[in-house]
Structures are given as structure tokens and as C-alpha cells.
Amino acid sequence: MSMDPLMSAISQINSPENPMDVVRSIADLRDRVGDWKAKGLKVGLVPTMGALHEGHLSLVRRLAQDVDRVIVSIFVNPAQFGPQEDFAAYPRQEALDCLRLQGTPADLVYAPAADVMYPPGFLTSVRVGRITDDLEGAVRPGHFDGVATVVLKLFTQSGCDAAIFGEKDYQQLVMIRHMVRNLDLPVEILGGAIVREADGLAASSRNVYLSAPQRKIAGKLNVILADLRAKALAGAGAGADLGALEQMGTRALIDAGFDRVDYVSFRDAQSLETITTLNAPARLLAVARLGPTRLLDNLAI
Ligand code: PAF
């Protein structure tokens, strides 16, 4: 009888058949990277919390175009979850993740345990100012401090030359660009385009939480945002009322069946400051909830 794919994947982890090379300590990671750098190779990092989907795999492929070796880190970072959030329930499936990375240009998986990342006595926290205060920062206090701290640690642990972050978490990407600039980190930051399912829903590890009826509604988020963007652009010459469009978007999301809307907001694409007119590259960002699941999406304008 053939083995269930999940069981088969689990039995392969850390066995000679594991399709991926996995390291768990900072020393082992640095050894590998040191060998590569000694040969003059450029090393890139794709930071993830695992539960890999097509969006993550597209980041691996994109980064591999710019670097010689790609590390994928898998670490469900406790510091970026609030006390009421889904840290315990967050999907953990390292064996399957390694199978998914097979056939991508990933060279190494770095999967540290929590006490490698945060040993006893760990006290430091990185905070990137203003840009993290609103949008996700307002709904998830402390979230971005946890992300900035772990990302900075991943950079210093790996010594990577470049790293890539998905545009789905647009505020996170902007924050990391600021952190790198502000702290003079020698890491080139790339943004990876959002990968969408057939109906436009942005790929996310949290999509697995959606029931079948919720999944149907979820696909409308992108459609409503695209409609708002079209309306904003159509009115741009005459000075579109972006505040009114944000309210219209919120109502449309509730009418479409979402349980709650955290925000629909037009922002400057680089500073993330609120805008009232479209006269520079902008971003339309939104979060709508279905039950406890928060769905993030954004569009370039
Ligand atoms: O985007 C994510 O998955 C996480 O926030 C990251 C960047 C891996 C840090 O834990």
C-alpha cells in the first residue's frame, strides 16, 4: 500500500531522502554561507513562516534570478503574534514545505527552533517608527516590532546579500526597506509580485482557514479594490474624492458578505502616508475579515 503523502513527507524529514538540505543552528548556517561567499557567490534569503504556497515559491524563483544561492528560512515567529492571535494554530508543515521547495532553485532551508532565535534572556526589540503605527500596526500592536526584530536577526545570522518579501504584506515590505536604509544594512531588498488564485484572491497561508462559503466571498476583495482603483483613476484629473471612495469600498465589502473591514486606504506608495490626491505612485491597501480570518490585499496605482 502506498504511504499518505503527508506521512511520507514527515518520514523523509532529516532523513537522507529529504529533498532539501536543512540546517537548524546559526553556526551551520554560517558555515554554508561562508563556503559560498569564499567562492564569490551572491547569497539571497527568502524569509518565511512556512506553510509555503505558490506565492512563496514565486519569491524563491524571482530571487534566484538575482543571486547565486537561495536560502529559505522557515520560522513561525512568536514575537509578531499578539496574545489573541493564531500563533498556536498557525500551520506548521516543514516536511511538506521541503517537498514543495523541491524543483525550485532553493539551495538550503534554515529552520531554527524558537530558543535558537530567542535564547533565554533575549531582551532586544527593533522598532521602525511612524510607518508602523497605523494600518496593520494599529490593528496588531507590536506586530511590526516582532517582524523587524526577527528579520534583522535573519539578516545577521545568514549574512545574506539580498532578500525578497512579498508585496501582499506591502506595509511590511515598506518597513523593511526603511529599516535597511536607516540601519545601513548591506542587504538588497526586492519586492515580489502578489500571486493570485483564479478568482483574484491573493495567495496566503491563512486562506486554509476559510470555509467553502467564506472562500467564495474572499475572491470579491480583489474585485472591489480593482473597481475602486478604476474609479480613483477615472476621477483623478478632476481630483477624485479618495475618502469617499474608501467609504464606498468599505460598504461594498460588507455588502459582498465580509464580516468586518479593518481598513480601505489610499496611501503614498513609498511613505505610506495618507493621500487626498493621486499625483505620485500610490497604493490602495485593504483588510477585510471573514470570521476570525483577516484577508490582506493591495493594488498599485
Ligand atoms: O511575511 C512573513 O511571513 C513574516 O512576517 C516574516 C517576514 C517571515 C517574518 O517572520
The whole-model pTM stands at 0.92
300: three-class secondary structure by DSSP: strand
Q: Of all protein residues, whose CA lies closest to atom 5 belonging to ligand 1? A: 147
Fold of 205-300: Pantoate--beta-alanine Ligase; Chain: A,domain 2 (3.30.1300)
Cα 87 from Cα 77, distance rounded (Å): 8
Pocket test for ligand 1, best of 76, 144, 147 (most atoms within 8 A of CB): 147
Percent of the chain with pLDDT over 90: 90
The verdict on whether 178 is a catalytic residue reads: no
Q: What is the pLDDT of residues 77-105, one digit of tens each?
A: 999 999 999 899 999 999 999 999 999 99
Atom 7 in ligand 1: residue holding the nearest Cα: 47
List the residue whose alpha carbon is closest to atom 9 of ligand 1.
147
How far apart are the CA of 259 and the centre of ligand 1, in A?
Answer: 26
- The residue whose C-alpha atom lies closest to atom 3 belonging to ligand 1 is 48
pLDDT of 17 above 80 = no
CA dihedral of residues 8, 10, 13, 17 (deg, nearest 10): 0
Asked whether the predicted pLDDT for residue 15 surpasses 70, the reply is no
Asked whether residue 4 carries a pLDDT value surpassing 60, the answer given is no
Q: Domain boundaries in the chain?
A: 5-192, 205-300
For a pocket test of ligand 1, which of 52, 157, 165 has the largest count of ligand atoms closer than 8 A to its C-beta?
165
CA separation for the pair 218, 22 (Å, rounded): 35
> Is residue 296 annotated as involved in ligand binding?
no
**C-alpha cell of residue 194:** 502578489
Neighbours of 171 (CB within 10 A): 22
Model confidence at 11: pLDDT above 90: no
Q: Within 6 Å (CB) of ligand 1, which residues are found?
A: 47-49, 77, 80, 147, 150-151, 169, 172
Q: pLDDT tens digits, residue range 62-72?
A: 999 999 999 99
| Active-site residue identified among 56, 62, 100, 143 | 56
The pLDDT tens digits for 137-164 are: 999 999 999 999 999 999 999 999 999 9
> 196-244 pLDDT, tens per residue?
999 999 999 899 999 999 999 999 999 999 999 999 999 876 677 999 9
* Residue 151 assigned ligand-binding role: no
User: Is 204 in contact with 195 (CB distance < 8 Å)?
Assistant: no
Assigned superfamily of 5-192: HUPs (3.40.50.620)
CA distance 294 to 301: 23
Query: 43: CA distance to ligand 1 center in Å?
Result: 19
- Return the C-alpha cell found at 248: 464606498
Residue 80 known to bind ligand: yes
Fill in the DSSP letter of residue 274: B
